[in-house]
């Protein structure tokens, strides 16, 4: 099926190109475009992500070095630096945001039964943000400090497979808690977040939407205890209480009761959790919050293995285009991993792909890590320095 097809082209075959075409038509992305279409732009930017390119010049140099194979990569016509730069500046970033969202919906179906550390059938999300520092002189549209610019990636990941289900890109000044205003609330789902999202009025909206949240309480929380539930102190639990807020504005924002759980870690640190779920065991609530660190791992992984720390353009449109295509590549690799039944990690898959874009090995054979299938060395065929 893939005989003679380049690895990059095989990987791109897993992308829903008809869906991309419909999205491009909706936004007029190829209006008055003769040669360098949105599909070509996506391929070039995906190639940059998969091969760890650092700049537009770097991308174009690598593609020109393999100009005889561009057609087989799926890229029609020559690619110039100015052409790619203009496309990133002018093509609506929402095209690639919708492509990424479509891929996310596909990926989540593959990972719906993926374990994540807690025996729970409900959907569990982790919400957090990461900041990417920028130069204020080059990115004046993204203010952060008086002498620094930055963007924030507010990300909601599904803990089953670490698939980002929601991403909001803002300037560095937007406080994390404001993202709760634009978040789509899913009834029955759990939203796990740190103390930066502790706003009782916004949390009450989650509660009214029949969603559950797990977060940590601040040290100055004022509340009255309504009821204490029995706990097993040998597990690290200190108390499991039903509480009501007492500060006026907090009580107005969240008039219902909350559940407060105190837990002592193995290191001796006491953590206080707040949730609106009264059905799960207290220890399960603490385990859910522990799983929140998977979103930190996601940010670390993406920053290390995808090109989102150095940008190929300075406009807001170019930056958002690059981020959304990077997310698309991450999710596409996650989809390929499931479709081909691969045991390799995403890191291993990306490392292999980065070195084999222009090879013609079938993708499944290339990405199947089988140490037992390696050619054994013949110890009798080695030179002996001391042979007489």
In this structure, are residues 85 and 61 in contact, taking their beta carbons and an 8 Å threshold? no
**Per residue in 292-325, pLDDT tens?**
888 888 888 888 888 887 899 999 999 999 999 9
Find the angle CA(243)-CA(156)-CA(133) to the nearest 5 degrees.
110
Q: What is the pLDDT of residue 2?
A: 47
Put residue 28 in one of left, alpha, beta given phi > 0 → left and psi -120 to 50 → alpha: left
Q: What is the pLDDT of residue 310?
A: 83
* Rounded Cα–Cα distance for residues 298 and 345 (Å): 13
Instruction: Please list the ranges in the chain whose pLDDT falls under 70.
Output: 1-3, 369-388
Beta bridge partners of 134: 149
Q: Residue 21 contacts by C-beta under 8 Å, 6 or more apart in sequence?
A: 39
Classify residue 201: in a domain, yes or no: no
**Per residue in 42-67, pLDDT tens?**
999 999 999 988 889 999 999 888 88
DSSP state of 2: -
Classify residue 145: in a domain, yes or no: no
Q: Give the structural domain span for 49.
A: 7-95+311-365
In this structure, are residues 43 and 11 in contact, taking their beta carbons and an 8 Å threshold? no
Q: What is the pLDDT of residue 245?
A: 95
Q: What is the pLDDT of residue 102?
A: 95
Q: Residue 307 contacts by C-beta under 8 Å, 6 or more apart in sequence?
A: 48, 49, 52, 53, 54, 322, 326
Classify residue 360: in a domain, yes or no: yes
Q: What is the pLDDT of residue 316?
A: 94
Q: What is the pLDDT of residue 120?
A: 87
Q: What is the pLDDT of residue 34?
A: 81
Q: What is the pLDDT of residue 3?
A: 54
Classify residue 316: in a domain, yes or no: yes
3-state SS of 69-92 is HHHHHCCCCCCCHHHHHHHHHHCC
Classify residue 244: in a domain, yes or no: no
Classify residue 327: in a domain, yes or no: yes
DSSP state of 6: -
Classify residue 50: in a domain, yes or no: yes
In this structure, are residues 116 and 91 in contact, taking their beta carbons and an 8 Å threshold? no
3-state SS of 231-247 is CCHHHCEEEEEEEEECC
Q: What percent of the chain has pLDDT over 90?
A: 67
How far apart, in Å, are the Cα atoms of 26 and each of 20, 324, 370? 10, 18, 45
Q: What is the pLDDT of residue 1?
A: 44
* Rounded Cα–Cα distance for residues 107 and 94 (Å): 20
In this structure, are residues 263 and 287 in contact, taking their beta carbons and an 8 Å threshold? no
Classify residue 143: in a domain, yes or no: no
For the chain, the domain total comes to 1
Q: What are phi and psi of 47, to 5 degrees?
A: -60, -40
């Amino acid at each position: 099926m893939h005989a003679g097809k380049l690895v990059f082209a095989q990987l791109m075959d897993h992308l829903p190109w008809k869906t991309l075409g419909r999205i491009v038509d909706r936004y007029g992305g190829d209006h008055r475009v003769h040669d360098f279409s949105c599909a070509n732009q996506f391929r070039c930017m995906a190639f940059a992500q998969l091969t760890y390119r650092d700049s537009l010049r770097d991308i174009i140099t690598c593609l020109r070095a393999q100009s005889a194979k561009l057609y087989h990569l799926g890229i029609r016509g020559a690619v110039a630096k100015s052409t790619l730069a203009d496309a990133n500046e002018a093509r609506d970033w929402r095209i690639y945001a919708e492509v990424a969202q479509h891929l996310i919906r596909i990926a989540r179906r593959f990972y719906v039964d993926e374990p994540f550390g807690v025996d729970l059938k409900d959907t569990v999300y982790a919400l957090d943000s990461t900041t990417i520092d920028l130069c204020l002189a080059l990115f004046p549209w993204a203010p952060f400090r008086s002498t620094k610019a930055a963007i924030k990636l507010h990300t909601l990941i599904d803990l089953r497979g670490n698939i980002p289900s929601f991403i909001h890109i803002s300037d560095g000044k937007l406080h994390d808690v404001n993202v709760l205003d634009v978040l789509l609330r899913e009834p029955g789902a759990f939203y796990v977040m740190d103390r930066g999202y502790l706003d009782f009025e916004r949390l009450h909206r989650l509660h009214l939407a029949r969603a559950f949240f797990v977060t940590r309480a601040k040290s100055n929380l004022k509340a009255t205890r309504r009821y204490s539930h029995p706990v097993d102190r040998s597990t690290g639990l200190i108390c499991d209480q039903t509480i009501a807020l007492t500060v006026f504005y907090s009580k107005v924002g969240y008039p219902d009761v909350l559940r407060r759980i105190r837990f002592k870690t193995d290191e001796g640190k006491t953590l206080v959790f707040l949730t609106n779920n009264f059905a799960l065991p207290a220890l399960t609530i603490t385990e859910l919050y522990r799983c929140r660190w998977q979103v930190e791992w996601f940010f670390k992984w993406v920053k290390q293995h995808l090109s989102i720390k150095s940008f190929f353009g300075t406009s807001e449109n170019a930056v958002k285009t690059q981020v959304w295509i990077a997310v698309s590549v991450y999710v596409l690799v996650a989809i390929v991993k499931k479709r081909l039944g691969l045991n390799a990690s995403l890191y291993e898959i990306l490392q292999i792909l980065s070195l084999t874009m222009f090879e013609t090995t079938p993708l499944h054979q290339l990405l199947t890590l089988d140490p037992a299938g390696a050619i054994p060395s013949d110890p009798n065929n080695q030179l002996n320095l001391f042979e007489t």
